[in-house]
Amino acid sequence: MPIYEYSCQDCGTRFEKLIRRDSDLDSLSCPSCGQQHLAKQHSTFAPQMGGAKQSAMPMCPSGGVCPTPGKCGLN
């Protein structure tokens, strides 16, 4: 079941809505002003690894994983 992001064209409120079926779109309205003049927004997602731990290697201040932890003095 996708969660969509919308922006109200009347009051500018941005909100998310879980859409279970196409018929849910007929009753979709802004939670702030109640109007139905909405625009679907492009959204991003953040996938999560199922319980996997992060790398033990520290992040390098210059970006990425540090190839020589502690040797440059920056981490």
Per residue in 38-75, pLDDT tens?
999 876 666 666 655 555 555 666 666 666 666 666 55
Domain boundaries, the chain: 3-41
What tokens were used for 70? 């502690």
Q: Residue 59's beta-bridge partner residues?
A: 65
What span, in angstroms and rounded, lies between the C-alpha atoms of 41 and 7?
7
The predicted structure's pLDDT at residue 18: 87
The predicted structure's pLDDT at residue 70: 64
Per residue in 2-42, pLDDT tens?
788 999 999 999 999 888 888 888 899 999 999 999 999 87
In three-state secondary structure terms, 49 is coil
Global pTM reads: 0.54
Q: Residue 54's beta-bridge partner residues?
A: none
